[in-house]
Chain A
Amino acid sequence: MIDVELLKRLFSEGKVSRREFIAQTAALGATAALSQSILATNVFAASSEPRRGGRLRIGLSGGSTTDTIDPAASNDMMNQVLINGQLGNCLVEIDHENKPIPELAESWDSSPDTKIWNFKLRKGVEFHNGKTMDADDVIYSINHHRGKDTKSPAKVLVDSIQEIKKEGKYSISFILKSANADFPFLLSDYHLVIVPTTSDFKDGIFSGGYILQKYEPGVRALATRNPNYFKSDRAFFDEVETLGINDVNARTNALKTGQIDVMNRCELKTVHLLKRMKGIEIIRQNGFKHYTFAMQCNTAPYNNNDVRLALKYGVDREQMLKTILRGYGSIGNDHPISSASRYFASELPQRQFDPDKAKFHLKKAGLTNTSFDFHTAEAAFVGAVDAAVIYKETAAKAGININVIREPNDGYWSNVWMKKPWCAVMWGGRPTEDMMFSTAYAADAAWNDTSWKNKRFNELLIAARAELDEPKRRAMYVEMQSIVRDDGGVVVPMFAADLAATSDKIGHGPVSVNWELDGFRAPERWWFKS
């Protein structure tokens, strides 16, 4: 008989997903509220009390010799763990419950229409060069991503800011172009790190828990603890060494032989063997990362919703999850909102593989004998080509003829994505429903890769941003998920879990799921057990 304690243990060891955990505890008669409270408290943190000292060595995939320390150019793990997990801070931090909490900001409030946001800044924060942080530094740092000439990918996010006003030495206000109740989330974006006004964004001077000593892009970085760090209960290591190790076997061997303490992106095919090894802990995060098969809704035959529905019914999600992700993930329901999100629509029925319904819709569209070209490449996500082959095989059972076209990895994002009418896509985490929808589903979004324009959806998107009443807001987001599910241009077969492995000497609290390695913050939040 499974009991709550056992489930808790399985969950803490990453053997049961959050969703399975909630479902199972509910089945045991525990109320949803109880299971949520178990989740929220220290389920994982049986580990130990935090302890100071030691040198943490992290081996990461996602480093390149072309990296720079400029937050506006940061786009992969090595720099993210370095800049966001060691050296720098944002105004707002996302905690393990996916809630925004103050970091360099002390508190915030908004005007009733959520168009003006006032942020009080923390006093007495010192940058690594000794300068004390004030409103000018914050404005300088955010403006790095605004304006015509910036090359920052965060430009799309901060474009919603009309004006930044300095209200006092430690107070600023953001005047937005349109209402946004989730604005604080936006300031937690990993690009929006605060630097002193004296910085050229390349010198590695920030305010974080570690100070940069050595940096060789894509190879190695060494940082030592910042004795003046403003958070007293964070940054427990004396030193942090970040190593770029792109070969997954090299990473795994380095962890096994104790040359590193933490690795990211375990190899799916050997992770079950790694899990059995002594002294190794696997950390699984069921986050926001998901794969989509995007159809352009303004192009025939995908402008016909029956075609889209037929293709949605023609995919065997369970098998794809099992074969492509080896179970490390969860199946999708044709919308991009993860079960880890606040407003995940758990009441929507899960769409299943249904050859009959697929046939029905295909017939209704009158396209029984058409073949559909599906463009894919390993560059879209690991296993994208295999996923396409599996899709082709299962869809054939529903009488749908999918023609898999393998594109070169090189230039996939510039030549195939957004260009071909139907292709494989990977989306990383977005902490809020609004950010996800505004980035890829709003009618005028630059990355609306399905060219999908649904009037009701776009009205709801604007309205939900300004809605402060929680239940009403939730209802709006649920409706939006259901519209994307039944009308949108994406097949969302699965959400992929992030898998990291650590030596069992590492202690940590509950793990954030917004980004890999505890939201990039492993060096700041984790510690060595005694």
Chain B
Amino acid sequence: MNPLASMISKRIMFGVLTLMAISLLIFVGVEALPGDLAEAILGQNATPETIQAFRTELKLDLPASERYFSWINDFVHGDLGHSLANGRPIAEVIGWRFANSLFLAVTTAVFAIPFAIMLGLLAAIYRDSWFDRLISITTLSAISLPEFFVAYILIALFSVQIPLFPCISTINDDMSFLTKLHAIFLPCLTLALVVIGHMMRMTRAAIINVLSSPFIEMARLKGISNRRIIIKHALPNALSPIINVVVLNLAYLVVGVVVVEVVFVYPGLGQLLVDAVSKRDLPVVQASGLIFAGTYVFLNLMADVLSMLSNPKLRNPR
């Protein structure tokens, strides 16, 4: 077998194994949450009788191992089970929210990634100029502020002072695509400010790192222009770390945006998971946890495969 293909398949195997380990960890972790659903849901209204009625209905009295294996089995067969709290099928509860999370992430990524890489390239080309410093300080400030603070500032500016965009982004199916885009403008901008900083800085650093290698020195001696060197020679060789940071940021955009979801009342997966944790809705916590982890593992896999493919040494084995 081609060594590249075997490396990739090995990597995929690892991904699957990691996912298995995660599923076990999630299950055990969730089991360890104190108190149980009945008490969390009924709250002050919980009396011994009402709690007992809840428990029996939800089969909370079965042993844990039994529940784990039936859960994994159902999950593999596409049945995510039912929410303990309100009995709805989890696939239905999670499905549209996951789609929303992806929508927000993809929209942000579509304009943030090219912009960040371009900025990074420009900063590397005009290294140590005022332009480089300006970008560096701006992006640093953007990533050093808490997300919710950036969000509140953007709301104060573009929603309260100048009413251009809505301050809550509760999108629903009755909206057209364009209305949806308009509604999620501010959360997208908030997230973009956060991720552009990281990606731009990493791009710049990676390019500058490659610039110190001997073959660039060679190209320079040949008299090739600085810009051409960076775009034709340095960029392809710096792709691997850039891909890595882009993928990490993508993963963050899908799974790490709880705070932005709360500020903009965006119906994504993060909010659901926080609610489910505080209400002890175990099947929902487990399912969305596994979906999050799956997304992360998948994106990491993509990053590895892409950097293997982008590496000339591996692409053209001797």
Identify the A interface with B (CB < 8 A). Answer: 59, 64-68, 73, 75, 148-153, 155-156, 202, 214, 216-220, 243-247, 249-250, 253-254, 256-257, 259-260, 410-411, 413-415, 417, 446-447
Instruction: Return B151 CB to nearest CB of chain A, in Å.
Output: 9
Is the beta-carbon distance between B279 and A253 smaller than 8 angstroms?
Answer: no
Is the beta-carbon distance between B275 and A415 smaller than 8 angstroms?
Answer: no
The residue from B34, B43, B49, B278 contacting A75, defined by CB atoms under 8 A apart: B43
Please name all residues of chain A whose beta carbon is closer than 8 Å to the beta carbon of B57 when the two chains form the complex.
151
Please name all residues of chain A whose beta carbon is closer than 8 Å to the beta carbon of B203 when the two chains form the complex.
none
Instruction: Return B306 CB to nearest CB of chain A, in Å.
Output: 35
Q: Is B35 an interface residue (CB 8 A)?
A: yes
Q: How many residues of B contact A (CB 8 A)?
A: 45
Please name all residues of chain A whose beta carbon is closer than 8 Å to the beta carbon of B34 when the two chains form the complex.
410-411, 415
Q: How many angstroms from the CA of A165 to the CA of B50 in the assembled complex?
A: 25
Q: Which residue of A lies closest to B55 (CB)?
A: A151
Is the beta-carbon distance between B35 and A414 smaller than 8 angstroms?
Answer: yes
| 15 A-B pairs in the complex with CB atoms less than 8 angstroms apart | A66-B85, A66-B281, A66-B284, A148-B53, A151-B54, A156-B47, A243-B265, A245-B265, A250-B265, A254-B167, A257-B163, A257-B166, A413-B43, A414-B40, A414-B46
Give the contact stretch, choosing among B1-9, B73-81, B152-160, B206-214. Answer: B152-160
Is the beta-carbon distance between A257 and B167 smaller than 8 angstroms?
Answer: yes
Please name all residues of chain A whose beta carbon is closer than 8 Å to the beta carbon of B113 when the two chains form the complex.
none
Please name all residues of chain B whose beta carbon is closer than 8 Å to the beta carbon of A253 when the two chains form the complex.
155, 159-160, 167-168
Given contacts A155-B47, A410-B35, A414-B39, contact A66 B86 (CB under 8 A): yes
Instruction: Return B131 CB to nearest CB of chain A, in Å.
Output: 36
Given contacts A219-B170, A257-B160, contact A155 B263 (CB under 8 A): no
What string of 1s and 0s marks CB contacts (under 8 Å) between B10-22 and chain A? 0000000000000
Q: How many angstroms from the CA of A247 to the CA of B169 in the assembled complex?
A: 13
Please name all residues of chain B whose beta carbon is closer than 8 Å to the beta carbon of A152 when the two chains form the complex.
50
Given contacts A243-B265, A253-B160, contact A66 B172 (CB under 8 A): no
Q: Is B44 an interface residue (CB 8 A)?
A: yes
Please name all residues of chain B whose beta carbon is closer than 8 Å to the beta carbon of A411 when the two chains form the complex.
34-35, 39-40
Instruction: Return B98 CB to nearest CB of chain A, in Å.
Output: 13
Is the beta-carbon distance between B87 and A250 smaller than 8 angstroms?
Answer: no
Given contacts A247-B262, A249-B152, A257-B160, contact A75 B45 (CB under 8 A): yes
Q: How many angstroms from the CA of A409 to the CA of B262 in the assembled complex?
A: 19
Q: How many angstroms from the CA of A217 to the CA of B278 in the assembled complex?
A: 16
Please name all residues of chain A whose beta carbon is closer than 8 Å to the beta carbon of B40 when the two chains form the complex.
411, 414
Instruction: Return A40 CB to nearest CB of chain B, in Å.
Output: 33
Ranked nearest first, the 7 interchain pairs of A and B with the lowest CB-CB distance are A66-B85, A153-B45, A68-B86, A411-B35, A414-B39, A253-B167, A151-B53
The residue from B41, B168, B172, B275 contacting A65, defined by CB atoms under 8 A apart: B275
Is the beta-carbon distance between A250 and B272 smaller than 8 angstroms?
Answer: no
Is the beta-carbon distance between B265 and A66 smaller than 8 angstroms?
Answer: no
Q: How many angstroms from the CA of A125 to the CA of B262 in the assembled complex?
A: 41
Is the beta-carbon distance between A65 and B272 smaller than 8 angstroms?
Answer: yes
Q: Is the interface of B mostly helix, strand, loop or mixed?
A: helix
Please name all residues of chain B whose beta carbon is closer than 8 Å to the beta carbon of A220 when the two chains form the complex.
170, 172, 267
Q: Is B93 an interface residue (CB 8 A)?
A: yes
Q: Is B119 an interface residue (CB 8 A)?
A: no
Q: How many angstroms from the CA of A73 to the CA of B279 in the assembled complex?
A: 13
Q: How many angstroms from the CA of A249 to the CA of B263 in the assembled complex?
A: 8
Q: How many angstroms from the CA of A411 to the CA of B280 in the assembled complex?
A: 11
Is the beta-carbon distance between B39 and A250 smaller than 8 angstroms?
Answer: no
Please name all residues of chain A whose beta carbon is closer than 8 Å to the beta carbon of B296 when the two chains form the complex.
none
Q: Is B290 an interface residue (CB 8 A)?
A: no
Q: How many angstroms from the CA of A149 to the CA of B265 in the assembled complex?
A: 37
Residues of B30-62 whose CB lies within 8 A of A:
34-35, 39-47, 49-50, 53-54, 57
Instruction: For the A-B complex with A218-B275, A253-B159 known, give 18 more contacts whose Cβ atoms are closer than 8 Å.
Output: A65-B272, A66-B83, A73-B41, A151-B53, A155-B47, A155-B49, A155-B50, A220-B172, A244-B265, A250-B168, A253-B155, A254-B265, A256-B160, A259-B166, A260-B168, A411-B34, A411-B40, A446-B47
Please name all residues of chain B whose beta carbon is closer than 8 Å to the beta carbon of A446 when the two chains form the complex.
47
Is the beta-carbon distance between B168 and A254 smaller than 8 angstroms?
Answer: yes
Q: Is B271 an interface residue (CB 8 A)?
A: yes
Q: How many angstroms from the CA of A1 to the CA of B197 in the assembled complex?
A: 62
Instruction: Return B41 CB to nearest CB of chain A, in Å.
Output: 7
Instruction: Return A446 CB to nearest CB of chain B, in Å.
Output: 5
The residue from B35, B167, B275 contacting A66, defined by CB atoms under 8 A apart: B275
Please name all residues of chain B whose beta carbon is closer than 8 Å to the beta carbon of A156 when the two chains form the complex.
47
Is the beta-carbon distance between B86 and A73 smaller than 8 angstroms?
Answer: yes
Q: Which residue of A lies closest to B262 (CB)?
A: A247
Given contacts A65-B271, A410-B35, A413-B43, contact A149 B279 (CB under 8 A): no
Given contacts A65-B272, A66-B275, A155-B47, contact A259 B87 (CB under 8 A): no
Q: Is B27 an interface residue (CB 8 A)?
A: no
Q: Is B71 an interface residue (CB 8 A)?
A: no
Instruction: Return B183 CB to nearest CB of chain A, in Å.
Output: 10
Q: Which residue of B lies closest to A415 (CB)?
A: B35
Instruction: Return B211 CB to nearest CB of chain A, in Å.
Output: 46
The residue from A65, A214, A247 contacting B265, defined by CB atoms under 8 A apart: A247
Q: Which residue of A lies closest to B272 (CB)?
A: A65
Is the beta-carbon distance between A243 and B86 smaller than 8 angstroms?
Answer: no
Is the beta-carbon distance between A246 and B262 smaller than 8 angstroms?
Answer: yes
Q: Which residue of A lies closest to B34 (CB)?
A: A411
Is the beta-carbon distance between A243 and B43 smaller than 8 angstroms?
Answer: no
Please name all residues of chain A whose beta carbon is closer than 8 Å to the beta carbon of B86 when the two chains form the complex.
66-68, 73, 217
Q: Which residue of A lies closest to B39 (CB)?
A: A414
Q: How many angstroms from the CA of A454 to the CA of B85 in the assembled complex?
A: 39
Q: How many angstroms from the CA of A152 to the CA of B86 in the assembled complex?
A: 14
Instruction: Return A267 CB to nearest CB of chain B, in Å.
Output: 13
Q: How many angstroms from the CA of A417 to the CA of B45 in the assembled complex?
A: 12
Q: How many angstroms from the CA of A357 to the CA of B53 in the assembled complex?
A: 48
